[in-house]
Chain A
Amino acid sequence: NAGVTQTPKFQVLKTGQSMTLQCAQDMNHEYMSWYRQDPGMGLRLIHYSVGAGITDQGEVPNGYNVSRSTTEDFPLRLLSAAPSQTSVYFCASRPPRQAGANVLTFGAGSRLTVL
């Protein structure tokens, strides 16, 4: 089991460029989510998905798109990067709520800098 795998670990973009942060999990988790972490701000939820074909917005969705075509993958797209999107991004997943566990498993994080 690889757990939650995020790529890339580091990325530098110029303002206006687009990119996709990849997230994959091999634990058959239905729930997947993306957070961003900025100094002193904790973890803020960007988007989440409760299963293939279903996505929803979190606290800070603007500027980000997601899709969930398979259970395993949940990519995060920045269509036109802005300096305000400079942050560390974490992907996290967990089993279905009815499995009795709400514990998120986190990926290692992706550090994004937008110049």
Chain B
Amino acid sequence: EDKVVQSPLSLVVHEGDTVTLNCSYEVTNFRSLLWYKQEKKAPTFLFMLTSSGIEKKSGRLSSILDKKELFSILNITATQTGDSAVYLCAVQGGSEKLVFGKGTKLTVNP
């Protein structure tokens, strides 16, 4: 059965800090790993990763995948209070299903 484990489950930092969120997975016939951000509504898409070692970047957010070690990290530099959210990691394997982890709740204090 496909499995996604995110760590930490919760994180509290101060504005300006850099954070690293972790996602490890077990999946049959890996196809892609996705990161979503969820504030008090529906999740919004951040990144999709399919190849090892290629960093995806959007402003202060970046992510990279390691298919050999079966994990991904999401980095946020110079955090702002607007980064406070739940960050969700999901993987798709050989089936059509997208399986999510439990999420990391990030709180950025001013």
Contact = CB atoms under 8 A, between A and B. Distances in A.
The answer to whether A and B come from one shared complex is: yes
B85 interface: no
Nearest to A106: B42
A50 B96 contact: yes
Nearest to B47: A103
B41 A33 contact: no
A48 B48 CA distance: 21
Contacts, number: 53
Contacts of A13: none
A102 B88 contact: no
A35 B44 CA distance: 15
A40 B9 contact: yes
Interface stretch (B58-66, B72-80, B99-107): B99-107
A43 B100 contact: yes
Given A43-B90, A45-B97, A59-B99, 17 more contacts: A31-B96, A40-B9, A42-B88, A42-B103, A43-B43, A45-B98, A45-B100, A50-B96, A90-B42, A102-B31, A102-B48, A103-B45, A104-B43, A104-B45, A106-B43, A108-B41, A108-B42
Interface of A: 31, 33, 35, 40-45, 48, 50, 58-59, 90, 97, 101-104, 106-109
